[in-house]
Amino acid sequence: MKAFVFPGQGAQFSGMGKDLYESNPLAKELFDKANDILGFDITKIMFEGTDEELRQTKVTQPAVFLHSVISALCMGDAFQPAMVAGHSLGEFSALVAVGAISFEDGLKLVSQRAQAMQKACEAAPSTMAAIIGLDDETIEKICAEISAPGNIVVPANYNNPGQLAISGNMDAINTACEKLKEAGAKRALPLKVGGAFHSPLMQPAKDELQAAIEATAFHTPKCPVYQNVDAEAHTDPEEIKQNLIAQLTAPVRWTQEIQNMIAAGATDFTECGPGKALQGMIAKIAKGNEAVTFHGIE
């Protein structure tokens, strides 16, 4: 069974989408429409911008979303998923690709999400760190011991076995990194991100985005969508909507999502969008399962 997966923030690169724009009339139409919706020339930044320009909050998330969605839609009849999933931001891409949200509404929500997250990041000094080579249970236990009101640290991204990102206030992250290395983590790497994504510190962004999501029309997707908050398959538009609202402050359960998709029969994973990060994660999650293959769009 074919599964399609969509990457999150951080996969962007200069030149992304340019080949699609120049070779596919549908891609050109959608990119031009995106410029009108956003009110600025995002395609110019995507095709010719510097890394620094691509890291602007108003650019990064819409850029990855656009590349991912347009890549999928331009596949035509080759895009026949039995199931889909997206990592964090990628969940919006997945929902648009399978018809749960319109292209226009999806892009507007992603743009609002990026700006709301930026505001939340500016409200409290916070960050994330990748913990390598330690089991999830130990990380969860140490985070729970350290975390306190006003000094939060929580598991944020369950990326694959042996790699979990934590999120929280600066001091709590620094303390957690020290404790986790003492507990046996091979590495505890601070991430170059603007704030504590997928943690309670994103509550202001969640409140802001909730109204926008609730005002958006959601439809039954053409196939099940595995969602980050519970790693389960969903087709009910109201459930999808509520899970998308919860996603901003809840951890991304990517390891469990991929495991559940494989258990449901997925053997062929295609990454739609920039980079190969998800292929690397899936390779580690499915290690030893020779029936599972993973690749990007050629």
Q: Which residues are catalytic?
A: 88, 198
Residue 222: closest CA among 110, 101, 104, 105: 101
92 in Cβ contact with 110 (< 8 Å): yes
Report residue 137 as tokens.
């249970």
Where does residue 127 fall: left (phi above 0), alpha (psi -120 to 50 degrees), or beta otherwise? beta
DSSP strands (E only) in 49-178:
83-86, 126-132, 153-160, 163-169
Q: What is the arrangement of strands in the sheet containing 83-86, beginning at the earlier edge strand?
A: 233-234, 225-226, 83-86, 2-6, 268-271, 293-296
Give Dmax over CA atoms of the chain in angstroms: 55
- From the CA atom positions of the chain, what is the Rg in Å? 18
Residue 212: closest CA among 57, 106, 131: 106
Report residue 183 as tokens.
């507990």
Residue 269: closest CA among 1, 3, 14: 3
